[in-house]
Amino acid sequence: MNHRRSLVAVVLVLLLATAVVVTGCAPKTAEKKLYVGIVLPTKDEPRWIQDETRFNDALKDTPYKAEILFSQGDPAKEKANVESLISKGIKVLILCPHDASAAAAAADAAAAAGVKVVSYDRLILGTKNVDYYVTFDSIEVGQKQGQYLVDRAQGKGNPLYLYAGALSDNNSFLFFEGAWRVLQPKIADGTFVIANSDKAKALQNKLNLTRDEMSQIIGQITTNWDFNSAKNLAEANLAVAPASMKGNVFILAPNDGTARAIADTFAADPAIKSYVITGQDAEKASVQYIIDGKQSMTVWKDVRELVKDAINVALLYIDGKTPEYTKTYNNGVKEVPAKPTPVVVVDKDNVKDTLIKSGYYNESDFTWPK
Ligand code: BGC
């Protein structure tokens, strides 16, 4: 038996070697050159695993090879990742920064080596060395979250709990700005009462906040994009909330991971009768929460689209061309060209028509009510 197996193996190797000699070419992957380096913030959040999976799917159809590295929430590791990709000869860097300002040094290093820099999903701040920004419309994400709450609030005095992303992520500001645009008029007219931020309360009559004002509010309500921090903050908020801030409540949660942590905390408080809570990313675990009635909505950002845009931009740069743009984003130093992709609200009513029908997920990925 063993003898037969090794014979088969020898024959296979010989056949392969002949094929390479005869056709003059090695297996296809070996031909592909490493032209694109992709650096994502962390493996610890399902959102970025979604991006990795979709990149790997999409890259199969390109003539170039790409390498994906993760920074694990550490700007030093992020910079080392970028440097290692530069040394391997990449032509384009697709970087989603963990810390928007710290990542400027990595972008500068890439530019100094003649590498084009594409900021992916999150904007790199404080450097002229960002050639393009591939992104969803993050203001729209916040607006859709805020509008979802507004559309479900009746009467006056509804308790509103506000939560935000990390201060080091420019998107946290865009999400909050979008949500504030629709929530603020409804706070000012008494529909909502802010339950957990005196900084936001002090600014509740102001529609257009400065970055510094937003920083002050976000500083009080940040989850740091971390599930445990989100849970701890929600627990601390509920521990000091008076009875008037309990009952039927409304919660602005910035993304799915934090939404699940916050929702679980609110669900465990016997004085909370009902809650409406937002989310973002259409993570599988949150889609199940939505089906089960534990999370109200998510903002679906079709990562396939973002990945497609990023790869197209990279291919254009490799060909020496310049990608089109519809809008620019100021990163403190430069107006960075971008073509933001729209986003979609998903809740219990349309989950099948959106996520399943589009093939983003399979129906069998979830448990459905009988
Ligand atoms: C992304 C979100 C993500 C969050 C936390 C944001 O910059 O746009 O999709 O949930 O970071 O990782």
pLDDT 10s digits, 244-298: 999 999 999 999 999 999 999 999 999 999 999 999 999 999 999 999 999 999 9
- pLDDT score for 33: 81
**Residue of 71, 139, 167, 225 with the most ligand 1 atoms within 8 Å of its CB, for mutation:** 225
**Quick check: 303 pLDDT over 60?**
yes
Structure tokens at 251: 């919660």
Once rounded to an integer, what is the mean pLDDT over residues 123-132? 98
**Quick check: 341 pLDDT over 90?**
yes
Q: Which residues line ligand 1 (CB under 6 A)?
A: 45, 47, 121-122, 165, 169, 171, 225, 255, 280-281
AA letter at 242: P
The three-state (H, E, C) secondary structure of the chain, written as one string: CHHHHHHHHHHHHHHHHHHHHHHCCCCHHHHCCEEEEEEECCCCCHHHHHHHHHHHHHHCCCCCEEEEEECCCCHHHHHHHHHHHHHCCCCEEEECCCCCCCCHHHHHHHHHCCCEEEEECCCCCCCCCCCEEECECHHHHHHHHHHHHHHHCCCCCEEEEECECCCCCHHHHHHHHHHHHHHHHHHHCCCEEECCCHHHHHCCCCCCCCHHHHHHHHHHHECCCCHHHHHHHHHHHHHHCCHHHCEEEEEECCCHHHHHHHHHHHHCCCCEEEEEECCCCCCHHHHHHHHCCCCCEEEECCHHHHHHHHHHHHHHHHCCCCCCCCEEEECCCCEEEECCECCEEEECCCHHHHHHCCCCCCHHHCCCCC
Computed over every residue of the chain, the mean pLDDT equals 92
- pLDDT score for 31: 63
What band does 9 get if pLDDT is binned at 50, 70 and 90? very low
Closest residue by CA, ligand 1 atom 6: 171
Closest residue by CA, ligand 1 atom 5: 225
How much of the chain, in percent, has pLDDT values that exceed 90? 88
User: Rounded to a whole number, what is the distance in angstroms from the first to the last CA of the chain?
Assistant: 52
Distance between Cα 362 and ligand 1 center (Å)? 23
**Atom number, ligand 1, closest to the C-alpha of residue 255:** 10
Distance between Cα 255 and ligand 1 center (Å)? 7
Distances (CA, A) of 157 to 2, 26, 190, 203: 78, 70, 6, 17
CA-nearest of 163, 369, 174 to 249 is 163
Once rounded to an integer, what is the mean pLDDT over residues 159-178? 98
Distance between Cα 169 and ligand 1 center (Å)? 8
**Residue of 169, 306, 341, 343 with the most ligand 1 atoms within 8 Å of its CB, for mutation:** 169
Distance CA(69)–CA(260), nearest Å, equals 27
Residue 347, φ and ψ in degrees, nearest 5: -140, -170
* Residue tagged 């102001």 (tokens): 206
List Cβ neighbours of 195 (8 Å cut-off, separation of 6 or more): 159, 160, 161, 237, 241, 245, 249
Structure tokens at 248: 């039927």
Distance between Cα 172 and ligand 1 center (Å)? 8
* Structural domains in the chain, sorted by start: 32-136+303-339 (3.40.50.2300), 138-300+346-365 (3.40.50.2300)
**Quick check: 10 pLDDT over 60?**
no
- Sign, Cα dihedral of 221, 227, 232, 234: positive
**Atom number, ligand 1, closest to the C-alpha of residue 254:** 10
**Atom number, ligand 1, closest to the C-alpha of residue 141:** 8
**Atom number, ligand 1, closest to the C-alpha of residue 42:** 12
Distance between Cα 293 and ligand 1 center (Å)? 23
**Quick check: 25 pLDDT over 80?**
no
Distance between Cα 257 and ligand 1 center (Å)? 10
Once rounded to an integer, what is the mean pLDDT over residues 192-221? 98
Q: Kindly report, residue by residue over 26-51, the tens digit of the pLDDT.
A: 344 446 788 999 999 999 999 999 99
Q: 336 pairs with which residues across the strands? A: 329
**Atom number, ligand 1, closest to the C-alpha of residue 41:** 12
Distance between Cα 210 and ligand 1 center (Å)? 22
**Quick check: 20 pLDDT over 60?**
no
- pTM over 0.85? The answer is yes
**Atom number, ligand 1, closest to the C-alpha of residue 138:** 8
Distance between Cα 13 and ligand 1 center (Å)? 47
